[in-house]
Structure 1
């Protein structure tokens, strides 16, 4: 063995323990949970539920950073460009992770290649909600009112190209209605305007609107899933009220930049899965109509790919624009 080979082996042996130590010591400083929508939406709520659990587990602060814009692509892009050290993580949703890239056609990268799954978090039903002032309680009543309104009928969503936007466009198409999309920078701002009556109806995630519906500030007309949801079985679906082939569901998940050490991804994923199985967090999530989803990092990546395969043909056939 010559001197060069000996030095190479020695350097590798010294580097390996340092790498393992860095991974074992993670996190050595506060971690950012980036939410690509405004405060008050379902992503934000889930992130704020998860943060204290992870803080207790890892002994470091987990800070929520809301970065709305571009249907969630602005904040998502920040995580894509972040260092792959698990210090910046994305609390993502079907809207920004799947629907917006499909609708816009090009966000500058392939989400499936530049982000890795840590764990899914929740399954989030989309609902059709209305301001009580418009005087409708069912989907047929709403359809009749839209058709009787001259100049079209506005509907709000958490942003252009989101799952909420897609739900509204499919509703319009299925029933041949004159409707205009009003995009917001997240579910929170859309909820504010819906309650104020600035917009008459909105397609939003159930956890976002549940508190306002329970105290009478708005009315949930129907659930946009194929069948009734277990967390609110009393709510009828839009489809059972006469809108054919209508089912849109959202979700939240935790993701890291591609290149993040697998050991850290696995540790974090295990902690998240343990939290989602713990009764206290389960109770808090289900109270807001968000059902926990337990998946490994590999299962999360596979799930995202399946979502692209499922919704790609739907988005293309619906000809939905990210500008609307």
Structure 2
């Protein structure tokens, strides 16, 4: 009996210690955050992703009660910043603001420094911005049907479209158009969206499947003409502009989007806390108004919703890349 009581006593002590550890872990989680949080932006300063980060950063800091430090780690279509975050401590103090290439890179690159699906914990889909088909104002294309007619295989003259570079969101938006509309538009890659758009405005290349966020100001001042939007529904920013899908290319849907991720292994309670804080930020009328000005649709999803969304996006672009026989390796 004495040995039995000793074993029970030791077991009770172990349970008590486990309880203390669990309580300490709960207290640590409840105290989060206790210091500044680094938000790694996977694109250089000045672009749309950076603008979004600096727009939401101060509001997120106010919600969480600690500073949010923006750190730009641009390059390689978001993969340089992604590698940094994939290796970071999963404690909630390093987060990543990534974009559409998050789902496109796995299709384009057979060798990456990380596995996109296992390296990151989804936090929140912040927003999405439809691509918009724009042309040089003097170009003869006024409708999607015009572009399909000019871009037919075997046409006398090639139709060229510009993008920010090989494998960029604009490039893949054009390749998706080729597949669904059965056209042969020819891709012209630039070193960045800015130079590409400048050449479309000047007529060097007549067509671009641009982000509405960067193109719309040029549409409004007459330097570009918008033909159709890439979302399945018409944009609230331009309700009179038809979608590409309703203009003769059923199933066409392209967005550029921004989302926040954490390193895999970040405690679910912390992920949920940050997700809820971001949802509150995106409901702020001032933030929503500024995002609407660039054609962005604020979302503020749950972690589970972002996971479902990114898996669908990855599968979609894997199909497009395979059918278009693209590779950047």
Instruction: Provide TM-score, normalisation by structure 1.
Output: 0.83
Corresponding residue number in structure 1 for 2:187: 180
- Note if contact 1:117-1:300 (Cα within 8 Å) is conserved in structure 2: yes
User: How far off its partner does 1:63 sit?
Assistant: 2.7
Is 1:102 aligned to 2:92, yes or no?
no
- Cα distance between partner residues in 2 of 1:138 and 1:71: 31
* Count of matched residue positions in the alignment of Structure 1 and Structure 2: 320
Q: Deviations over 1:268-322 (max 9, x none)?
A: 1111112223323222222221112232112222222233344433332232233
Name which of 280, 283, 286 aligns with 2:289. Answer: 283
**Structure 2 regions of 5+ residues with no counterpart?**
1-5
**Structure 1 regions of 5+ residues with no counterpart?**
none
- Note if contact 1:194-1:201 (Cα within 8 Å) is conserved in structure 2: yes
- Cα distance between partner residues in 2 of 1:181 and 1:134: 17
CA distance 1:264–1:178, change in 2 (3 Å): closer
CA distance 1:82–1:9, change in 2 (3 Å): same
CA distance 1:196–1:49, change in 2 (3 Å): farther
- Cα distance between partner residues in 2 of 1:129 and 1:106: 34
Corresponding residue number in structure 1 for 2:213: 207
Is 1:116 aligned to 2:114, yes or no?
no
Corresponding residue number in structure 2 for 1:232: 238
Corresponding residue number in structure 2 for 1:273: 279
CA distance 1:74–1:183, change in 2 (3 Å): farther
- Note if contact 1:36-1:92 (Cα within 8 Å) is conserved in structure 2: yes
Name which of 62, 84, 93 aligns with 1:56. Answer: 62
- Deviates further, 259-268 or 26-35: 26-35
Name which of 232, 239, 252 aligns with 1:246. Answer: 252
- Note if contact 1:38-1:188 (Cα within 8 Å) is conserved in structure 2: no
- Note if contact 1:70-1:159 (Cα within 8 Å) is conserved in structure 2: no
Q: Deviations over 1:29-86 (max 9, x none)?
A: 3322222223344322322221121021123222333333222222222211222122
- Cα distance between partner residues in 2 of 1:20 and 1:72: 34
- Cα distance between partner residues in 2 of 1:78 and 1:64: 14
CA distance 1:112–1:80, change in 2 (3 Å): same
User: How far off its partner does 1:14 sit?
Assistant: 5.2
Corresponding residue number in structure 1 for 2:86: 80
Q: Deviations over 1:231-252 (max 9, x none)?
A: 3212222344444553323322
- Note if contact 1:86-1:256 (Cα within 8 Å) is conserved in structure 2: yes
Corresponding residue number in structure 1 for 2:43: 37
User: How far off its partner does 1:188 sit?
Assistant: 4.9
Indicate the SS of the match to 2:92: coil
- Note if contact 1:228-1:237 (Cα within 8 Å) is conserved in structure 2: yes
User: How far off its partner does 1:162 sit?
Assistant: 3.5
CA distance 1:101–1:268, change in 2 (3 Å): same
User: How far off its partner does 1:255 sit?
Assistant: 0.8
RMSD: 3.2
Indicate the SS of the match to 1:250: strand
- Deviates further, 266-275 or 15-24: 15-24
Instruction: Provide TM-score, normalisation by structure 2.
Output: 0.82
Corresponding residue number in structure 2 for 1:169: 175
Corresponding residue number in structure 1 for 2:77: 71
- Cα distance between partner residues in 2 of 1:239 and 1:303: 20
User: How far off its partner does 1:101 sit?
Assistant: 0.9
CA distance 1:297–1:241, change in 2 (3 Å): closer
- Deviates further, 241-250 or 231-240: 241-250
- Note if contact 2:271-2:303 (Cα within 8 Å) is conserved in structure 1: yes
CA distance 1:81–1:157, change in 2 (3 Å): farther
